[in-house]
């Protein structure tokens, strides 16, 4: 695919624009409204121009260079190196290196040890020499941080594939997990779907322990090459960490004595599970990491590269490539067309585009075609529930998600489609499925109900981020808002969701953001939901949220929150202003009745002032998450859809209340 140019100019434009309009807090209300309307009109035209002819929108999904490094490592492992691809990927990796020689996992973030090791190894495979200045800086920093021994498990697995690390020094993950029934702790359905799709193929890799000869040594990345893996302090035996460390030792002993026939049957069961979940486009779950490990696992079991499953899997990986204008190649961890399309539809409708505008009807048609009408892994816990959800990606019938389904319903409800009965039927199925996926505590997770086992995160193997899918405030807020819009504000499920949200509010007035950064996202998701469900703007929880948002507004009038807020309290609600986070704050304040307040006027003014000439916004900062802190995402369409939604609601008000005549368009 061809790369978009949004996001390439960095933070300089934002800072320059903010400097040109430092606060603008004295601007007249009429002038703010005029500026907002003009900005919305420009944004509408920009967004309409980015719609695919099939009806969908999709922005780039940027993560970090481990995706790119692991792509090169996979090609090395399979022996399918292509010089042009190697050089284009290496060019991208080099371009992401920081001045101190490290690679971060998000914009302006600190150097990350595992990302730096993987990037370094990938560049060595691409031909960069250890004594090249940029490589020497990276290696020196890695040694200062403890060397390869300090890296995450996944990094060391990749190194073990080439003999740069010992398999005996990695946590064990036996394929016999496949035999655990769903009521036994640590069965594969105790893991979140993204972890499950990765862990199943890795059980095969862990059992096979392959080693392909490395083309060079990596002594320069060890603090002491003669003792590359110094023993780590053991956790107290009576602690959970200590118990799982002892369990891992038992699993290592079992690896040596595992009955061959049983192990073979277990690996074949894992292979069947993998193949059954391969999507029509050859990928697995629409996510790059499970696809990579599934290809490796099947290859180790004897599937040659010409096998139809392998050919389709490898072809699907190429679709994660984004080729940039400078010749560099970036790998997306995932693609987000359904998510981007429903959010774009909401933004355009709320900005006054006619509900029967051809662009919205075309988007609705495409979303209707993406509805998932067969059971997936979610039905293991909900076997009686009929399907009716939407996934995040182009092809992912096994894993529809609750968040996408709620937002697609909200988007479809805004469209005046010529086949109204078809819209109503799809909405009804989506509402029913979302209600059926409610967890026992009254809230909603992203992919599964009650995926809250405390054990998976304790495994020594699982140090790569969140591996379970507990309910979150942002997803629950979106579902509650959708149910309220659908006239089910008093449904028992909705009321239980509201009670959970009210109980989850932080003392300071904010809500934690699981899938967006962070408390601004959580608060921007929950407050509109509460108001839509009938909670009055005068409710103490709403007033505390308003006070918190006002307290963290930046001097320039915008809002921002750094990803470090997931680890350090001082960052909560604080960071450079961004278009998406400013919009989230505005959506909450507008819902809470603060349209004429100073905070809203300043926020709207900031959005209008920082808009670019083509109607877009620049946003190099990462405001999305896969795993809080551990895996950060820059959704390139967030900077377009959320500001437009906020401006539209400022100009036209609540989209489901009496409002000004809609903006007509051909």
Residue 207 bridge partners (DSSP): none
List all residues 6 or more positions away from 626 whose beta carbon is below 8 Å from its beta carbon: 63, 194, 333, 465, 632, 633
End-to-end CA, the chain: 29
CA angle 77, 456, 277 (to 5 degrees): 55
Task: Report whether 651 contacts 590 (CB < 8 A).
Answer: no
Kindly compute the dihedral angle of the four CA atoms of residues 405, 411, 416, 421, in this order, to the nearest 10 degrees: 10
Task: Report whether 153 contacts 461 (CB < 8 A).
Answer: yes
Q: Is 132 left (phi over 0), alpha (psi -120 to 50) or beta?
A: beta
Residue 19: CB atoms within 10 A of its CB come to: 9
Kindly compute the dihedral angle of the four CA atoms of residues 286, 288, 294, 297, in this order, to the nearest 10 degrees: 180
Calculate the alpha carbon distances from 287 to 281, 313, 333 in Å. 12, 11, 6
Tokens, residue 54: 């099939």
List all residues 6 or more positions away from 369 whose beta carbon is below 8 Å from its beta carbon: none
Radius of gyration of the chain (CA): 25
Task: Report whether 96 contacts 102 (CB < 8 A).
Answer: no
d(CA 135, CA 600): 48
Q: Is 621 helix (H, G, I), strand (E, B) or coil?
A: coil
- Please name the helix (run of DSSP H) or strand (run of DSSP E) that holds residue 631, with its range, or none: strand 631-635
* Helical packing angle, 540-551 and 519-532, nearest 10°: 150
Task: Report whether 151 contacts 200 (CB < 8 A).
Answer: no
Closest CA to 96 of 73, 119, 74: 119
DSSP-assigned states of every residue in 580-609: HHHHHHHHHHHHTT-TTSHHHHHHHHHHHH
Task: Report whether 101 contacts 141 (CB < 8 A).
Answer: yes
What residues are labeled active site?
403
d(CA 172, CA 157): 11
d(CA 411, CA 345): 6
d(CA 21, CA 56): 35
* Helical packing angle, 579-591 and 598-610, nearest 10°: 150
Task: Report whether 636 contacts 4 (CB < 8 A).
Answer: yes
d(CA 497, CA 492): 9
List all residues 6 or more positions away from 1 whose beta carbon is below 8 Å from its beta carbon: 319, 321, 322, 323
């Amino acid at each position: 695919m061809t790369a978009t140019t949004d996001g390439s100019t960095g933070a300089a434009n934002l800072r320059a624009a903010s400097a040109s309009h430092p606060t603008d807090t004295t601007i007249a209300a009429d002038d703010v409204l005029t500026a907002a309307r003009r900005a919305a009109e420009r944004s509408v035209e920009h967004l309409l121009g980015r719609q695919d002819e099939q009806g969908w929108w999709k922005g780039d999904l940027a993560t970090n260079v481990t995706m790119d490094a692991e792509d090169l490592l996979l090609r090395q492992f399979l022996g399918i190196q292509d010089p042009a691809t190697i050089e284009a990927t290496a060019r991208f990796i080099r371009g992401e290196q920081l001045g101190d020689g490290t690679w971060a996992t998000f914009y302006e973030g600190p150097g990350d040890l595992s990302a730096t090791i993987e990037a370094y190894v990938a560049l060595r495979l691409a031909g960069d020499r250890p004594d090249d200045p940029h490589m020497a800086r990276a290696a020196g920093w890695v040694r200062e941080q403890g060397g390869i021994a300090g890296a995450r498990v996944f990094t060391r697995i990749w190194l073990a594939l080439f003999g740069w690390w010992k398999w005996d020094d990695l946590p064990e993950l036996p394929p016999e997990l496949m035999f655990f029934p769903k009521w036994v702790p640590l069965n594969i359905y105790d893991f979140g779907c993204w972890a499950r799709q990765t862990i199943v193929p890795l059980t095969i890799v862990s059992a096979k322990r392959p080693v392909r000869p490395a083309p060079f040594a990596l002594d320069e990345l060890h603090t002491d090459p003669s003792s590359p893996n110094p023993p780590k302090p053991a956790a107290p035996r009576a602690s959970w960490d200590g118990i799982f460390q002892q369990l891992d030792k038992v699993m290592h002993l079992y690896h040596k004595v595992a009955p061959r026939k049983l192990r073979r049957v277990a690996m074949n069961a894992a292979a069947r599970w993998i193949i059954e979940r391969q999507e029509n486009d050859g990928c697995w779950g629409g996510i790059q990491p499970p696809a990579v490990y599934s290809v490796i696992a099947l290859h180790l079991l004897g599937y040659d590269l010409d096998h139809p499953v392998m050919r389709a899997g490898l072809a699907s990986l190429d679709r994660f490539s984004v080729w940039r204008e400078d010749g560099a190649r970036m790998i997306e961890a995932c693609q987000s067309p359904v998510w981007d399309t429903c959010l774009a539809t909401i933004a355009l409708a709320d900005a006054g585009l006619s509900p029967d505008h051809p662009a919205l009807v075309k988007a609705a048609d495409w979303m209707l075609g993406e509805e998932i009408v067969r059971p997936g892994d979610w039905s293991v816990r909900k076997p009686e529930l009929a399907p009716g959800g939407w996934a995040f990606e182009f092809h992912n019938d096994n894993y529809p998600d609750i968040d996408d389904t709620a937002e697609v319903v909200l988007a479809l409800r805004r469209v005046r489609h010529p086949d109204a009965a078809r819209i109503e039927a799809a909405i009804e199925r989506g509402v029913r499925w979302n209600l059926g996926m409610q967890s026992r505590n009254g809230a909603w997770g992203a992919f599964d109900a009650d995926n809250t086992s405390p054990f998976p995160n304790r495994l020594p193997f699982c140090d790569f981020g969140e591996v379970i899918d507990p309910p979150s405030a942002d997803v629950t807020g979106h579902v509650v808002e959708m149910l309220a819009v659908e006239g089910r504000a008093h449904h028992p499920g909705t009321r239980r969701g509201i009670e959970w949200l009210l109980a989850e509010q932080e003392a300071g007035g904010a809500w934690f953001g699981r899938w967006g950064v962070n408390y601004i996202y959580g608060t921007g998701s929950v407050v509109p939901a509460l108001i839509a469900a009938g909670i009055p703007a005068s409710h103490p929880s709403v007033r505390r949220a308003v006070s918190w948002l006002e307290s963290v507004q930046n001097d320039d009038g915008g809002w921002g929150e750094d990803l470090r807020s997931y680890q350090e309290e001082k960052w909560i609600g604080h960071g450079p202003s961004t278009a998406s986070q400013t919009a989230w704050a505005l959506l909450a304040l507008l819902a809470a009745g603060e349209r004429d307040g100073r905070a809203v006027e300043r926020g709207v003014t900031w959005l209008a002032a920082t808009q670019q000439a083509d109607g877009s916004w620049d946003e190099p900062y990462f405001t999305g998450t896969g795993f809080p802190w551990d895996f950060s995402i820059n959704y390139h369409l967030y900077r377009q859809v959320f500001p437009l939604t906020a401006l539209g609601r400022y100009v036209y008000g609540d989209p489901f209340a009496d409002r000004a005549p809609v903006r007509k368009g051909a």
